[in-house]
Amino acid sequence: MTSETLTQTPAERVFSTSVVVSGVRCFLAYVLFPWLLPAAGIASGVGSGLGLAIGAVAIVFNVLSIRRFQRTGHRYRWPITALNAGIIVLLAVLMVIDLNDLLG
């Protein structure tokens, strides 16, 4: 490996961050809060609210990733844009579900 392959561009860093934030949101909302913490007798009922907050942050990072990849002319900008857009759609659906849980 050369040092070139080890160094991420700023666009790649933003993309990586957006995917990590989305993954953390899913882990918290669908594993930790509904299963692990209630099994331990703590934190029941906080998953939806936290899911909304983390989902909003994840969407912001995905939009930043799209903007940065488009501005830099990165060779994978269109596949990354499609992936980010898909993640945003999934996060929006999950946020609607979380909002329904909180209001309903």
pLDDT at 3 over 50: no
Q: Provide the 10 A C-beta neighbour count for residue 32.
A: 16
Quick check: 91 and 25 in contact, CB under 8 A? yes
What global pTM score does this model have?
0.68
Quick check: 9 and 45 in contact, CB under 8 A? no
Of the candidates 102, 16, 96, which has an alpha carbon nearest to the alpha carbon of residue 55?
96
Phi, psi of 74 (to 5 degrees): -55, 145
Tokens standing for residue 102 = 């909180």
pLDDT in tens, 50-102: 778 888 888 988 898 889 888 888 888 899 899 989 989 988 998 898 889 88
Q: What is the pLDDT of residue 6?
A: 55
Quick check: 50 and 33 in contact, CB under 8 A? yes
